[in-house]
Structure 1
Amino acid sequence: MIRDRGNIKWNAMMLPEHVKLLREWKAQDEYVKKPELDEWTLQELSEQLQRAYTQKTEVELKVWEEKQIYKTTGVIHKLNTQSGKFYLEDGRSFSFQSIVDISLNLIE
């Protein structure tokens, strides 16, 4: 069995610019394309967002930002339809277009 050191043995011969480009190239492989949502899904997201705001329940959001999908939780404090943003109680803000999924954390 051949035991190769992989990229370690080549790093000494690479310029720092090459190493930087290779790291950026590897990071681009992890990028996620923004999901395209249909009308029905957008309507459902809008209804859940309104329900969470009026009931002041905690929500779990999947938000697409900077070519990644993040999960975050919080209680919606304010909806601003003119700017297309909503604000959580801890001060974070997100645009409506960045939402991929919403789930309500109902406590019974």
Structure 2
Amino acid sequence: MIRDRGNIKWNAMMLPEHVKVLREWHEKDNYVEKPELDEWALQELSEQLQIACNNHTQVEIKIWEAAHIFTATGIISKLDAAKGTLYFEDGRRFPFHFIVGLTKYE
């Protein structure tokens, strides 16, 4: 059975500058730009949020944050237009400007 050390064996042959550039390159591969929603998409998202909040249905929202898109599932308890924040029943909250998608579960 071969016991390979993986990338450890190559670290001795690489300069710190090379390692730094490779790490930055790897981070750029995972970078996702924030999707720009037009006014029709924003209106549709707003209507879906209102309906989900009024009906207390479970939703899955897509959130863009720190150059990645995350999903969060829960029931909307409150939409605060003054603060621009969506609140889930379990206490999590998300700013409106980070929300890029919504899926309702009936």
TM-score, length-scaled by structure 1: 0.82
Match of 1:73 in 2: 73
Q: Percent identity?
A: 60
SS state of the match for residue 61, structure 2? strand
Paired residue total:
101
CA–CA separation in structure 1 for the residues paired with 2:75 and 2:17: 44
Q: Which moves more between the two structures, 17-26 or 76-85? A: 17-26
Q: CA RMSD in A?
A: 2.0
CA shift, 1:67, in A, is: 0.5
The runs of 5 or more residues in structure 1 that have no matched partner are 1-6
Partner amino acid, structure 2, of 1:60: E
CA shift, 1:9, in A, is: 5.5
Give a deviation string over 1:20-68, Cα, whole Å, max 9, x none. Answer: 4422321121100001111110000000000011111000111111101
TM-score, length-scaled by structure 2: 0.83
The runs of 5 or more residues in structure 2 that have no matched partner are 1-6
CA–CA separation in structure 1 for the residues paired with 2:78 and 2:15: 50
